[in-house]
């Protein structure tokens, strides 16, 4: 999905950097859920057993789909759903923790927008 034919190098690299930020956060989060770190076990104490691992697998799968240039747009859509759920849970728990999944989603789409000409053709914000 990544096309450099009409993407400036500056825009392409800015998009890659913006995309890398949420990818690193999501990979770290997914691995921590699967590894069942002490923080994760404490945070998921009221959830059904094994749910953290399942959520971690879904998180990693969506992130991998986003990483593949050909399926990056599908990955962004899947991550939007995942991050929407994370936002909803964060709002339910209270506090300002809901900001992180929202910022992560904005970075996912912003990075993809800058590096993909087809997405920019659908949403012509920049010329």
Least confident window among 1-10, 52-61, 110-119: 1-10
Give dist(CA 80, CA 39) in Å, integer.
24
In a domain, 71, yes or no: yes
Residue 49 domain flag: yes
User: Residue 64's domain spans which residues?
Assistant: 9-120
Q: How far apart are CA 120 and CA 44, in angstroms?
A: 39
Across the chain, mean pLDDT equals 91
Domain count along the chain? 1
The confidence score (pLDDT) of residue 48 equals 95
- Report DSSP letters for 51-88, one per residue: HHHHHHHHHHHHHHHHHSGGGHHHHHHHHHHHHHHHHH
Write out the two tokens for 108: 């996912």
What pTM did the predictor assign?
A: 0.88
Residue at 125 is within a domain: no
Residue 4 domain-assigned (yes or no):
no
| In-domain check, residue 48 | yes
Asked, for residue 92, whether it belongs to a domain, the answer is yes
Residue 65's pLDDT band, with cuts at 50, 70 and 90, is: very high
Report in angstroms the alpha-carbon separations of 118 from 14, 48, 121.
17, 41, 5
């Amino acid at each position: 999905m990544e096309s450099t034919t009409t993407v400036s190098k500056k825009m392409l690299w800015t998009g890659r950097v913006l995309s890398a930020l949420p990818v690193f956060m999501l990979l770290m989060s997914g691995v921590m859920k699967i590894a069942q770190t002490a923080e994760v076990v404490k945070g998921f104490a009221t959830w059904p057993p094994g749910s953290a691992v399942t959520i971690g697998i879904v998180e990693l799968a969506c992130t991998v789909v986003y990483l593949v240039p050909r399926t990056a747009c599908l990955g962004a859509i899947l991550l939007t759903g995942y991050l929407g759920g994370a936002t909803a849970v964060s709002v339910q728990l209270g506090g300002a923790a809901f900001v992180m999944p929202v910022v992560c989603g904005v970075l996912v789409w912003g990075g993809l927008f800058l590096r993909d000409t087809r997405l920019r053709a659908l949403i012509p914000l920049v010329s």
